[in-house]
């Protein structure tokens, strides 16, 4: 492998505070060399950033020297730092200047650049202590899923912040599922966040899943190997002597990390003793603390019943609040929860009172106002906000009703914390980049000037100007406060209802012309004045991208989505309110399901030209079948449409909307949805349909997704769900002024920047144009996939080991397009095949009356999670049995091993350990195993942890699925999982504190598969045995009395009289569970009403006891009503009689 050798000639340069920029007099000499052996397999990533130092870490595939070169100018990396040789490299760069950007590169053993040396490898040192300039911190919790959820949260943050620098970021624990192994960290951290890792220092706290493979007492395990955290006060604060808990300073903020998982949480323990000393020593005006287990939550965990959560609330919070903590961050519960400004709540949720709310408002500067703390320094018990941010990788619901919380949101997302001067603002953005919550804490009076956030040319004669906070009406509506250049002028200004956006009416703007808007005289509501001559440039570009998504985009108030599914089986049932949408074909039974979707796109101008259209769905049950997307012609109504009709009283031409007047015959796209967010681009026919909706030539009746003969169904979430709502994304342009007919130059130097198994990044040199280049069109396999305004593009959602061809076209404001580039072929990385142990199941069995033995069933899967056969497994028994064993997995990926025999009178533990796996063509690392060893006691109880729930049953009562199970010792809650397929695809449904649950979120005529786990608040058991139930709703039956037989039994001088009533339905089947009511007519002329319920045989005995009677008396019983839920009585009054002999 060839590379380059770098040498430098340098001299001093004049510097400024930030960038040390000056005259460059460095010469970069690049000489080729051959034979570089090592390859980068992890990183680089940044750790322990301070004012004067930064630690750079990375991994190579072989042992090699650790050498970093760095400097303040990209072409003058004239300083070096070194570390120990090895595979895992760590280099401390010291002697740096505060608040300064440094570029860096890693060198290989031959002196060539292993990584870096380009504009993307840089970092900023921390500012001086007390610096009040903006600090931006990204917060993610429970992010270690390494899946599309985590990627969507990451991408939403990247979209929101763009090129703005992240000063530092924090992981709140459970950083790599499921046990925090090195390989899991590789997938969940290093492969997911490579750009941020190499530019911004990452800080972390230990979660319970990370702790499964790490030990805080010894500071050993992957977590402690990967992270370099302060132990001796290297970054500010008091030395803790351990990486398990620590503190550091950034600018005017003091950060405190605690270990809520393994370290003692006792008030007199080492950690909280250190906490007091650390707080006593700091004089920073802002204090932010973080750990994994939240003191307040009603999400997937319950802070009222789980010991770690209770102890942190009772022991840590009084200390922190007595020193004026401002913000506390945690994860663990897979949701977002945010408190009011509160103080002194250390008990259960039922003990929370209004007096503990120091401010019961929303904390929003644009709402009730920010939370105000009276002084800018620390002050005891002055109020804090508590945030649970555990939804960066998954959401798990819960009651979400803790009284201390202002906001409780079950959505994927992350938190952005920004601190400047005397204000702290935290913003929760979801996985679509929509703001779901935000609050501000202000210390002292508002002294910050309003800032200009953005200027957007929304139309040819209109601008939208956004400010950072509410501004006064008088200053906002004064058009003289706004000035445009290049001959344009502001005609009027109007403040919007949200008090921070202003619409400017302007003279006609020229497409692709660069303008500068200059602003003066704008005041916020505290009468702080905007900085003089605040400026921002903008260009009026007529190519626009707009997404339509219920409750999200174009704005949170958008309510223009209609969606429903229709069922051939339940042809007259409307499913417009369902939270799920289904598509399916024959499945052998001729029963179809189709889904209908429509978005109101009327806000797009009628003269707009549609360039592309795409539909994005959140799929929870994928399909290998292909379905068509067709335009609908009939004006269907969401809450009326069924398989038979498109609206009330209006039948489809052909049931299921299959007639030629119901829908188009040409498919607008083919869809074979995979799990997660799935996007499908419409073809030219689809773009033409959308165009006809926009220009009004055809009514917008949306789409139908269907295929009558497809055999594999798919399911996705609807706009009524709490998950990602169906989204329609359109790119369009507007007609431009005539005159410019010259196209931009052809794009040059199209190249690949990076590639993974499912993504590719490309870049190119900027094109030129006689007026201005407005943007670029990126084509993947000749389908446009993006219109970036910059010279790079990140493409995701690709298939491993697959070749793609990319082309780029430059365009200007008049829609002139350059010649496409030559195709750039990129092949995504293949997934290396490997095997690992997914589970070890242990049971105790009886050999004979005196002997017992244990059995271990080992389940082996490949790296795609599929069971795999013919894997050679070697293992060993220890404890009550010492035995080496070996075997080969079946096609189901399982193999069982028996221990030696032991006496039933003895007690102890059987321990089974997998020693190795072997299969030709596959790799194996023990660290990849979900489980390597397991243990069971001779009394059949688990050695540690929890047993899986047993006795699980499920039944359907016509509207709900009722689940019941046997309780597990030491469990405090149970997690219910549900799937639409047997044996896999389980989705967390709810957490229950009792051993039963009613699932009311089911739909008719669907098979569901449930498993239950037990939890003690820290660990979760394995799955229970799966139970299945089908929600078959029988047609209402007509019940009737089939027979009424009376009998007498003499009791002394009296008689017992019994009526035996048999009930059947209109099909002739016996009717159990039916309530029979009847009337006795007695010999003396009196009557008596009785009732009873039929048993399994459809009959019931109705008895009168000790009735006086004499020979010849007649007793008659008449059935007057029969009741059963959903069924009816045929109203035939069947009677029977008996005569006393």
What torsion do the CA atoms of 355, 356, 362, 367 make, to the nearest 10 degrees? 50
**Gap between the Cα atoms of 27 and 1140, Å rounded:** 124
The whole-chain average pLDDT of the chain stands at: 87
Cβ neighbours, 10 Å, residue 602: 12
Q: What is the DSSP letter of 956?
A: E
Instruction: Sort strands 168-171 and 135-140 into parallel, antiparallel or unpaired.
Output: parallel
pLDDT in tens, 1059-1088: 999 999 888 888 888 999 988 888 888 888
- Quick check: 927 pLDDT over 80? no
Beta bridge partners of 935: 911
Instruction: Sort strands 851-862 and 834-846 into parallel, antiparallel or unpaired.
Output: antiparallel
**Gap between the Cα atoms of 1128 and 504, Å rounded:** 67
Residue extents of the structural domains in the chain = 2-124, 135-443, 452-529, 546-733, 751-827, 834-937, 950-1030, 1038-1139
**Gap between the Cα atoms of 898 and 80, Å rounded:** 59
Judge contact between 550 and 561, C-beta under 8 A.
yes
Domain 2-124 in CATH 2.130.10? The answer is: no
- Quick check: 212 pLDDT over 60? yes
Comparison of pLDDT for 864 and 429, the residue scoring more: 429
pLDDT in tens, 90-148: 999 999 999 999 999 999 988 899 999 999 999 999 999 999 999 999 999 999 999 88
- Give the up-direction half-sphere exposure of residue 1092: CA atoms within 13 A in the CB hemisphere: 17
What's the pLDDT band for 553 if we cut at 50, 70, 90? confident
Residue 694's pLDDT is: 94
pLDDT in tens, 749-803: 999 999 888 889 999 999 998 888 877 888 888 777 777 767 888 888 788 888 9
Residue 1108's pLDDT is: 85
pLDDT in tens, 278-299: 999 998 999 999 999 999 999 9
| Mean pLDDT, residues 930-953 taken together | 80
The separation between CA 155 and the C-alpha centre of its own chain, rounded to angstroms, equals 12
Judge contact between 656 and 566, C-beta under 8 A.
yes
Q: Under CATH, what is the fold of the domain 1038-1139?
A: Immunoglobulin-like (2.60.40)
What torsion do the CA atoms of 1061, 1066, 1071, 1073 make, to the nearest 10 degrees? -100
Rg (C-alpha) for the chain, rounded Å, is: 35
Name the maximum alpha-carbon separation found in the chain. 131
Residue 37's pLDDT is: 64
Residue 1017's pLDDT is: 56
What are the φ and ψ backbone dihedral angles of 1087, each rounded to 5 degrees? -125, 160
Share of the chain above pLDDT 70, in %: 93
Specify the range with the lowest mean pLDDT, choosing from 2-16, 235-249, 957-971, 1114-1128.
Answer: 2-16
Residue 16's pLDDT is: 30
- Cα–Cα distances in angstroms (integers) from residue 510 to residues 486, 538, 542, 787, in the given order: 10, 12, 10, 21
What's the pLDDT band for 575 if we cut at 50, 70, 90? very high
Peptide bond before residue 178 is cis, with ω within 30 degrees of 0: yes
The contacts of residue 327 (CB under 8 Å, 6+ apart) are: 287, 288, 289, 384, 385, 386, 387, 417, 424, 426, 441
**Gap between the Cα atoms of 946 and 935, Å rounded:** 12
Cβ neighbours, 10 Å, residue 122: 17
pTM above 0.85, yes or no: no
- Quick check: 518 pLDDT over 90? yes
Specify the range with the lowest mean pLDDT, choosing from 300-309, 443-452, 474-483, 1020-1029.
Answer: 443-452
Indicate the class that CATH gives domain 452-529: mainly beta
What's the pLDDT band for 736 if we cut at 50, 70, 90? low
Judge contact between 219 and 210, C-beta under 8 A.
no
Q: Which helix (H) or strand (E) holds 104?
A: strand 101-107
Residue 23's pLDDT is: 28
Judge contact between 458 and 176, C-beta under 8 A.
no
The 3 state secondary structure assigned to 590-636 is CCCEEEEEEECCCCCCCCCEEEEEEEEEEEEECCCCCEEEEEECCCC
Closest C-alpha among 490, 448, 505 to residue 471: 448
| Mean pLDDT, residues 679-688 taken together | 90
The contacts of residue 576 (CB under 8 Å, 6+ apart) are: 562, 563, 564, 637, 638, 639, 640, 641
CATH code of the domain made up of 751-827? 2.60.40.10
**Gap between the Cα atoms of 37 and 64, Å rounded:** 9
pLDDT in tens, 593-625: 999 999 999 988 888 888 889 999 998 888 767
Beta bridge partners of 115: 106
What tokens does 95 get? 């002697």
Quote the CATH superfamily of domain 950-1030.
Immunoglobulins (2.60.40.10)
Secondary structure (3-state) at 843: strand
What's the pLDDT band for 22 if we cut at 50, 70, 90? very low
Residue 339's pLDDT is: 97
- Quick check: 365 pLDDT over 60? yes
The contacts of residue 252 (CB under 8 Å, 6+ apart) are: 129, 130, 131, 132, 135, 284, 285, 286, 419
pLDDT in tens, 895-923: 999 999 989 888 888 889 899 998 887 88
pLDDT in tens, 1029-1062: 998 776 778 889 999 998 888 877 788 889 999 9
CATH fit for domain 834-937, picks 1.10.3470, 1.20.1300, 1.10.10, 2.60.40: 2.60.40
Residue 671's pLDDT is: 82
Specify the range with the lowest mean pLDDT, choosing from 63-72, 168-177, 824-833.
Answer: 824-833
pLDDT in tens, 391-402: 999 988 888 999
- Quick check: 710 pLDDT over 80? no
What's the pLDDT band for 929 if we cut at 50, 70, 90? confident
The contacts of residue 573 (CB under 8 Å, 6+ apart) are: 567, 642, 1004
Beta bridge partners of 795: 760
Closest C-alpha among 454, 448, 502, 506 to residue 478: 502
Cβ neighbours, 10 Å, residue 515: 20
**Gap between the Cα atoms of 1081 and 172, Å rounded:** 76
Residue 34's pLDDT is: 41
Comparison of pLDDT for 25 and 622, the residue scoring more: 622
135-443: which CATH architecture?
4-Layer Sandwich (3.60)
What's the pLDDT band for 229 if we cut at 50, 70, 90? very high
* Domains 135-443 and 546-733 belong to one CATH topology: no
Residue 458's pLDDT is: 60
Closest C-alpha among 882, 773, 754 to residue 818: 773
- Cα–Cα distances in angstroms (integers) from residue 1061 to residues 1043, 1064, 1132, in the given order: 6, 10, 13
Residue 242's pLDDT is: 97
What's the pLDDT band for 407 if we cut at 50, 70, 90? very high
Specify the range with the lowest mean pLDDT, choosing from 62-71, 413-422, 612-621, 633-642.
Answer: 612-621
Judge contact between 210 and 180, C-beta under 8 A.
yes
Cβ neighbours, 10 Å, residue 640: 15
**Gap between the Cα atoms of 29 and 881, Å rounded:** 67
Q: What is the DSSP letter of 1049?
A: E
**Gap between the Cα atoms of 294 and 310, Å rounded:** 9
| Mean pLDDT, residues 700-729 taken together | 89
Q: Which of 44-58, 541-555, 723-737, 837-851 has the highest mean pLDDT?
A: 44-58
- Quick check: 85 pLDDT over 90? yes
- Quick check: 14 pLDDT over 60? no
Residue 1's pLDDT is: 34
| Mean pLDDT, residues 728-742 taken together | 75
Secondary structure (3-state) at 250: strand
Q: Under CATH, what is the fold of the domain 546-733?
A: Jelly Rolls (2.60.120)
Closest C-alpha among 894, 834, 892 to residue 863: 834
What's the pLDDT band for 945 if we cut at 50, 70, 90? low
């Amino acid at each position: 492998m060839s590379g380059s050798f770098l040498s430098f000639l340098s001299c001093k340069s004049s510097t400024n505070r930030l960038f040390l920029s000056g005259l460059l007099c460095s010469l970069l000499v690049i000489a080729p060399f051959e034979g570089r052996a090592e390859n980068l397999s992890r990183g680089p990533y940044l750790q322990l950033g301070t004012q004067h130092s930064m630690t750079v870490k990375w991994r190579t595939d072989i042992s090699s020297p650790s050498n970093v070169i760095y400097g303040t100018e990209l072409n003058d990396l004239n300083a070096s730092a070194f570390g120990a040789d090895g595979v895992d490299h760590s280099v401390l760069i010291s002697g740096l200047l505060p608040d300064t950007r440094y570029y860096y590169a890693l060198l290989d053993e031959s002196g060539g650049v292993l990584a870096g040396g380009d504009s993307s490898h840089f970092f900023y040192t921390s500012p001086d202590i007390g610096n009040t300039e903006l600090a931006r911190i990204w917060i993610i919790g429970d992010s270690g899923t390494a899946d599309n959820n985590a990627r969507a949260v990451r991408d939403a943050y990247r979209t929101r912040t763009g090129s703005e620098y992240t000063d530092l970021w924090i992981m709140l624990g459970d950083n790599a599922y499921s046990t925090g192994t090195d390989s899991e960290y590789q997938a969940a951290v290093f492969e997911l966040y490579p750009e941020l890792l190499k530019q911004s220092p990452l800080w972390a706290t230990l979660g319970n899943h990370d702790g499964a493979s790490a030990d805080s007492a010894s500071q050993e395990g992957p977590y402690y190997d990967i992270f370099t955290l302060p132990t001796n006060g290297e970054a500010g604060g008091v030395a803790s002597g351990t990486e398990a808990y620590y503190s550091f300073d950034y600018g005017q903020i003091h950060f405190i990390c605690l270990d809520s998982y393994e370290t003692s949480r006792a008030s007199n323990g080492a950690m909280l003793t250190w906490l007091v000393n650390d707080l006593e020593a700091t004089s920073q005006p802002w204090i932010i603390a973080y750990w994994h287990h939240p003191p307040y939550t009603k999400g997937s965990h319950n802070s009222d019943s789980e010991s770690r959560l209770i102890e942190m609330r009772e022991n840590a919070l009084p200390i922190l609040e007595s020193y004026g903590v401002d913000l506390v961050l945690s994860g663990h519960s897979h949701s977002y929860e945010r408190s009011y400004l509160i103080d002194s709540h250390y008990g259960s949720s039922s003990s929370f009172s209004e007096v503990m709310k120091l401010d019961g408002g929303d904390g929003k500067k644009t709402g009730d106002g920010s939370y105000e703390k009276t002084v800018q320094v620390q002050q005891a018990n002055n109020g804090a906000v508590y945030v649970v941010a555990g939804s960066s990788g998954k959401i798990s619901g819960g009651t979400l009703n803790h009284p201390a919380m202002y906001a409780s949101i079950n959505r994927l997302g992350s938190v952005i914390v920004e601190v400047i001067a005397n204000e702290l603002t935290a913003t929760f953005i979801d996985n679509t980049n929509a703001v779901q919550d935000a609050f501000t804490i202000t210390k002292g009076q508002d002294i910050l000037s309003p800032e200009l956030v953005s200027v957007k040319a929304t139309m040819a004669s209109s601008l939208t100007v956004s400010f950072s906070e509410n501004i006064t009406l008088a200053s906002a509506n004064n058009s003289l406060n706004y000035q445009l250049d290049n001959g344009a002028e502001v005609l009027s200004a109007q403040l919007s209802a949200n008090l921070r956006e202003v619409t400017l009416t302007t003279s006609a703007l020229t497409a692709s012309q660069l303008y500068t808007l200059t602003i003066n005289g704008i005041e916020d509501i505290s009468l702080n004045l905007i900085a003089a001559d605040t400026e921002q440039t903008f260009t009026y570009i007529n190519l626009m991208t707009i997404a339509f998504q219920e409750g999200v985009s174009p704005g949170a108030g958008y309510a223009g989505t209609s969606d429903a599914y229709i069922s051939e089986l339940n042809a007259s049932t409307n499913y417009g309110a369902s939270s799920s949408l289904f598509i399916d074909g024959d499945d052998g039974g001729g029963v179809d399901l189709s889904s209908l979707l429509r978005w109101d796109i009327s806000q797009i101008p009628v003269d707009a030209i549609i360039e592309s259209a795409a539909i994005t769905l959140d799929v929870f049950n994928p399909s290998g079948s292909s379905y068509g997307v067709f335009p609908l012609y009939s004006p269907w109504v969401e809450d009326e449409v069924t398989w038979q009709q498109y609206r009330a009283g209006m039948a489809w031409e052909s049931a299921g909307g299959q007639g030629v007047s119901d829908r188009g015959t040409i498919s607008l796209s083919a869809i074979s949805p995979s799990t997660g967010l799935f996007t499908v681009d419409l073809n030219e026919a689809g773009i033409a349909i959308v165009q006809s909706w926009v220009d009004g030539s055809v009514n917008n009746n949306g789409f139908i997704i269907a295929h009558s003969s497809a055999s594999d169904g798919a399911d996705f979430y609807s706009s009524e769900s709490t998950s990602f709502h169906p989204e329609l994304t359109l790119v369009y342009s507007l007609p431009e002024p005539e005159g410019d007919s010259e196209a931009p130059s052809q794009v040059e130097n199209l190249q690949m920047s990076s590639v993974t198994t499912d993504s590719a990044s490309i870049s190119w040199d900027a094109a030129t144009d006689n007026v201005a280049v407005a943007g670029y069109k990126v084509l993947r396999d000749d389908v446009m996939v993006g219109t970036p305004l910059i010279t790079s593009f990140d493409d995701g959602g690709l298939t491993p080991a697959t070749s793609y061809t990319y082309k780029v076209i430059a365009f200007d404001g008049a829609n002139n397009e350059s010649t496409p580039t030559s195709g750039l072929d990129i092949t995504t990385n293949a997934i290396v095949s490997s095997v690992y142990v997914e589970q070890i199941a242990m049971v105790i069995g009886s050999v004979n009356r005196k002997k017992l033995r244990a059995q271990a069933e080992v389940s082996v899967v490949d790296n795609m999670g599929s069971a795999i056969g013919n894997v050679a497994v070697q293992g060993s028994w220890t404890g009550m049995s010492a035995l080496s064993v070996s075997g080969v997995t079946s096609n189901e990926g399982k193999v069982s091993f028996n221990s030696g025999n032991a006496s039933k009178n003895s007690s102890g533990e059987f321990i089974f350990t997998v020693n190795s796996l072997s299969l030709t063509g596959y790799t194996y690392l023990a660290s990849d195993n979900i489980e390597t060893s397991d243990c069971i006691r001779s009394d059949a109880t688990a050695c540690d942890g929890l047993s899986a729930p047993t006795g699980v049953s499920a039944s359907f009562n016509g509207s709900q699925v009722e689940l019941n199970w046997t309780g597990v010792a030491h469990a405090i809650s149970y997690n219910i999982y549900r799937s639409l397929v047997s044996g896999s695809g389980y989705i967390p449904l709810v957490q229950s504190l009792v051993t039963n649950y009613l699932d009311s979120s089911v739909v008719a005529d669907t098979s569901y598969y449930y498993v239950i786990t037990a939890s003690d608040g820290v660990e979760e058991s394995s799955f229970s045995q799966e139970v299945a139930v089908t929600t078959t709703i029988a047609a209402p039956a007509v019940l009737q009395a089939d027979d009424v037989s009376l009998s007498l039994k003499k009791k002394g001088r009296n008689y017992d009289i019994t009526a035996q009533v048999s009930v059947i339905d209109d099909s002739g089947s016996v009717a159990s569970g039916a309530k029979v009511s009847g009337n006795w007519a007695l010999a003396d002329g009196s009557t008596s009403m009785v009732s009873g319920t039929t048993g399994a045989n459809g009959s019931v005995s109705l008895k009168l006891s000790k009735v006086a009677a004499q020979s010849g008396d007649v007793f008659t019983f008449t059935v007057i009503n029969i009741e059963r839920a959903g069924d009816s009585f045929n109203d035939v009054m069947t009677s029977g009689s008996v005569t006393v002999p």
